[in-house]
Amino acid sequence: MPKFLVCLFVIISTSLTWGQEPTLPSDFRQHSLTQFNASLLNPTYALDWNNPNSLSVWTRWQWQSIDGDPSTIFANYTHQLNPASVASVGFLQHNTGVFLYTGGNLTFAQTFQLDDEIQLMAGLNVFAFQQTVADEQFVEGDGLDPVALEDFEGFKVQFTPGLRLMVNRFSVGLALENAVGFNVSGSNGQNMDSFQSVTGTVSHDFPLMISEGLGDSFVRPVVYVKSVPNGDTQFGLNGLFSTSKFWVQGGYNSFYGASGGLGITLAKSFSLGGLMEFATDNALSEEDATFEIVASYHFGKTKTKEIQPEEPQEALPAETVEEEPNPLEEEIEQQRLEQERRELEARRQLERVKDSLAEVQRQWELMEQQRKKDSLEQLQRQQVEVRPNERYEEVENEEGLEPGFYLIANVYGTQRYFENFMKTLREKGLEPKSFYRSVNKYNYVYLERYNTMDEARKARDSKFFGKYAEKTWIFRVKGN
């Protein structure tokens, strides 16, 4: 794998010497998105790079100060539907200098587990936007006629599918920007050109353990190739170093030049970062720097720091004061001895009460053991008649499991999906439990254990009493 990445880097480094024209391409200029909102580059990145569930905003001002000319802004909320799929909705405004695109975006992405360490991810971006002529002074300065361009105004819809194959932490992705597009209105009834832009990416996440305070850290190199309508093919390399507290990134694009940025994360939820890009090609050397700002809020549970109880302070020894002889000293001593005698009798009485309670507790435990034994025998004697099309599994014994009927929510052979599913159920307010079967090497997630088949069926048929809408089935341990 390292040799493969080195070869790609050499090829890209050679390609960076190609000539470029200073005309601004019409692409979204999203090549630097590696931390948040990466679904704009490839819809499958919504599954992991968008950090669901999160709300993120990204904006880019091209080759200039912040004055509103060629720019892009993308606001997006990504929500995890289940451990294998996500959906997102967003707002996009993209200014190429000639046309201004304003509209919305819908994204859906799904993971297909091919093997323990192999996953195929598929996704789709749908863009619906209004195309209008941008700033007329800017267009006229570029030698274009704003009046003639008005014929191309209208409402457009584009579909951008994407695929990504991930082997362990290495992934290869392909996105077909505007694979299918059509004009709802405007453009004199002309159809939109399809497959206007194709983006291929290669990336690998290298986990790092720097310190416990920085959490799970990683380094992510990304190599990409992107075809652009009416422009030279772009080649690029990005590098991201990310921790739970901050991230640093840098990159190079064969058209836009070198870039560098950083960001911070506060309270494990709110992230804010910025990036600058500098044109290094001779044809672009007179252009100003490009600015990017990204902000994201993660909707998740934040662990609170436990408050440690204060250690009790040692009592200061009281000063010993010698009292002068008192004529009533003998009577006071008698009263003290009487008080001690009463306290001793009270302690003995308390011990007798404790012994009585202990005996009651012992008798209760014996009765409880007998009750459990009777209940277990009754449970083992239960005969189950499986209904048609009813999913039901029964075993004689299972190590570590109490006999009974278990309401199964899901079964996983991959540890990561198992942990994600348990986390999703807890976020819904449930208290899932699990057990591992060595006979088939699967983790079983169950919602509750019941003593009778009728109770288990009632919980299953009522969708766990309205708390869990997905399908469940019953797994029985007889305990003979």
- Do 216 and 104 lie in a common domain? yes
For position 16, what pLDDT does the model report? Answer: 37
Classify residue 329: in a domain, yes or no.
Answer: no
Residue 201 token pair: 């990416």
Domain boundary among 230, 263, 298: 298
Domain boundary among 261, 281, 298: 298
The burial of 278, by beta-carbon neighbours within 10 Å (0-12 exposed, 13-18 middle, 19 or more buried), is given as middle
User: In this predicted structure, which of 6-20, 338-352, 398-412 has the lowest mean pLDDT?
Assistant: 6-20
- Do 108 and 224 lie in a common domain? yes
Q: Which CATH number goes with the domain that contains 410?
A: 3.30.70
pLDDT digits (tens, 9 = 90+) for 207-265: 888 877 787 788 999 999 998 877 788 889 999 999 988 999 999 988 888 999 999 99
- Do 87 and 193 lie in a common domain? yes
12: containing domain? 2-298
Which among 283, 53, 47 is positioned nearest to 164, based on CA atoms? 47
pLDDT digits (tens, 9 = 90+) for 28-74: 888 888 888 899 889 999 998 888 899 999 898 877 655 556 888 99
Q: What contacts 58, CB < 8 A, 6 or more positions away? A: 33, 36, 37, 40, 72, 73, 74, 75, 292, 293, 294
- Do 267 and 396 lie in a common domain? no
- Do 126 and 259 lie in a common domain? yes
Q: Which CATH number goes with the domain that contains 139?
A: 2.40.160.40
For position 444, what pLDDT does the model report? Answer: 97
317-336: average pLDDT: 68
Q: Phi/psi at 22 (nearest 5 deg)?
A: -75, 5
Report how far residue 232's alpha carbon sits from residue 62's, in angstroms, rounded to the nearest whole number: 18
Report how far residue 426's alpha carbon sits from residue 386's, in angstroms, rounded to the nearest whole number: 31
Report how far residue 344's alpha carbon sits from residue 346's, in angstroms, rounded to the nearest whole number: 5
For position 18, what pLDDT does the model report? Answer: 34
- Do 290 and 425 lie in a common domain? no
User: H-type helices in 81-221, by residue range?
Assistant: 136-141, 146-149
Q: What contacts 315, CB < 8 A, 6 or more positions away? A: none
- Do 277 and 402 lie in a common domain? no
Report how far residue 315's alpha carbon sits from residue 65's, in angstroms, rounded to the nearest whole number: 68
Contact 242, 220 (CB under 8 A): yes
User: How is residue 187 annotated by DSSP?
Assistant: G
pLDDT: is 400 or 381 the higher one?
400
Q: How confident is the model at residue 302 (pLDDT cuts 50, 70, 90)?
A: very low
For position 363, what pLDDT does the model report? Answer: 86
Classify residue 33: in a domain, yes or no.
Answer: yes
Omega cis (within 30) before 53: yes
Which among 471, 452, 474, 455 is positioned nearest to 463, based on CA atoms? 471
Classify residue 347: in a domain, yes or no.
Answer: no
- Do 252 and 398 lie in a common domain? no
Which of 153-157, 256-260, 310-314, 474-478 shows the highest mean pLDDT?
A: 474-478
pLDDT digits (tens, 9 = 90+) for 415-437: 999 999 999 999 999 999 999 99
Classify residue 339: in a domain, yes or no.
Answer: no
- Do 406 and 292 lie in a common domain? no
- Do 283 and 403 lie in a common domain? no
∠ CA 416-417-421, rounded to 5°: 120
Residue 270: its H or E element: strand 270-278
284-297: average pLDDT: 80
The burial of 111, by beta-carbon neighbours within 10 Å (0-12 exposed, 13-18 middle, 19 or more buried), is given as buried
In DSSP notation, 362-375 reads: HHHHHHHHHHHHHH
pLDDT digits (tens, 9 = 90+) for 181-202: 777 877 654 555 555 788 999 9
Beta bridge partners of 133: 99
- Do 292 and 398 lie in a common domain? no
Total domains in the fold of the chain: 2
Classify residue 114: in a domain, yes or no.
Answer: yes
User: H-type helices in 93-234, by residue range?
Assistant: 136-141, 146-149
Classify residue 88: in a domain, yes or no.
Answer: yes
Domain boundary among 298, 320, 353: 298
- Do 81 and 196 lie in a common domain? yes
The residue type found at 224 is Y
Which among 234, 164, 177 is positioned nearest to 203, based on CA atoms? 164
Q: Phi/psi at 194 (nearest 5 deg)?
A: -95, 160
How many helices (H) and strands (E) are present in the chain, helices listed first? 7, 21
Classify residue 330: in a domain, yes or no.
Answer: no
Three-class DSSP category at 456:
helix
Q: What's the number of CA atoms in the CB half-sphere (13 Å) around residue 15?
A: 20
Report how far residue 253's alpha carbon sits from residue 29's, in angstroms, rounded to the nearest whole number: 10
Which among 124, 131, 113, 129 is positioned nearest to 88, based on CA atoms? 124
Classify residue 383: in a domain, yes or no.
Answer: no
